[in-house]
Amino acid sequence: MINRRNKYNWPLLVLLLLVTLSCRAEQIDPVDTGEKETKSEDPNIWIFLMAGQSNMAGRGGVELQDLVSYERIIAINSRNQWVGAKEPLHFYEPNAAGLDCGMSFAQELLAKVPDSVTIALVPCAVGGSSVFQWVDNEEHRGVALLSNFYQKVALARKKGVIKGIIWHQGESNANAGDLPNYSDALLGLFTKFRVAVTNDDLPIVMGELGRFARPEEKAAYFDDINTILAQIEEGDDSLFLVSSEGLDHRGDNLHFNSAAQRELGKRYAEVMIQQLISE
């Protein structure tokens, strides 16, 4: 005769069910992936996107002081997870990754924002990319530039409030063929950025190209790009330009060295904080 009450080992089944549910819970982390986050954005998380080419991606040497982490500075990593920020922040070109201006930018902001605020950095820069590649969403070094930016914006908006963009680019367009169309392309790209963030007045802070290019012909083209940046700044109340005066290169007459990157970050922050305080 079958004892139906003993047909199933109920304590064992309950234990297996609890283990299964626990495993599933561990697999779902909406904060890390950004894809299943449903809570509203946190107004105390101030997010800044970093975009452009190599001098924003960072080519400076990372030193011990750059590896210090701060509880209130976070960043998106290569797995789209929010983690404690430390250099190098950019991950798209692992063989070329170096010190950028992001941590010094965030540290400078941290000293001036309310204690309740966390600074969140979103790296989007890819070395060697031209403004036309950005506008046309071309794939460069394995990254679809504009699509990647849009994806990062979507992740960021679920985490906190996007407060601004810091931009450094132009070396790839510092030539006779690109200069005539550079201004229109850059302004068009910034429009795309602001549409993605849904903020027509989003502050965008640009950085001048280094004043150390060689030979003289190349230096003249770098000066031309800087002149264009100054001109477009005058036509938009939410566009700002920081100077590269006094900043040195790492020995290649192209990329900022570590000290220059740290100083550049501070200069970006000084301009950005003025806009945030005036909001």
Q: Is residue 43 part of a domain?
A: yes
Residue 95 domain flag:
yes
Cα separation, 274 vs 279, whole angstroms: 9
**pTM: predicted TM-score of the whole model, two decimal places:** 0.85
Is residue 20 in some structural domain? no
Cα torsion 55, 187, 235, 247 to 10°: value is 10
Token couple for 135: 């506008």
- The string of DSSP codes covering 198-214 is T-TT--EEEEPPPTT-S
Preceding peptide of 215 cis, ω within 30°? yes
Give residue 137's domain range. 33-277
Burial zone of 68 (CB within 10 Å; 0-12 exposed, 13-18 middle, 19+ buried): exposed
> Over its length of 279 residues, how does the chain's per-residue pLDDT go in tens digits?
444 444 444 444 333 333 333 333 333 233 333 344 445 589 999 999 999 999 999 999 999 989 998 999 999 999 999 999 999 999 999 999 999 999 999 999 999 999 999 999 999 999 999 999 999 999 999 999 999 999 999 999 999 999 999 999 999 999 999 999 999 999 999 999 999 999 999 999 999 999 999 999 999 999 999 999 999 999 999 999 999 999 999 999 999 999 999 999 999 999 999 999 876
Question: Which residue, 100, 102, 35, 55, is CA-closest to 209?
Answer: 55
Domain count, the chain: 1
- 4 lies in some domain: no
Does 1 map to a domain?
no
Contact 233, 240 (CB under 8 A): yes
Residue 227 lies in a domain: yes
Question: What CATH number is attached to the domain comprising 226?
Answer: 3.40.50.1110
14 assigned to some structural domain? no
* Per-residue pLDDT, 41: 85
Alpha helix stretches (DSSP H) within 128-178: 131-135, 145-159
3 lies in some domain:
no
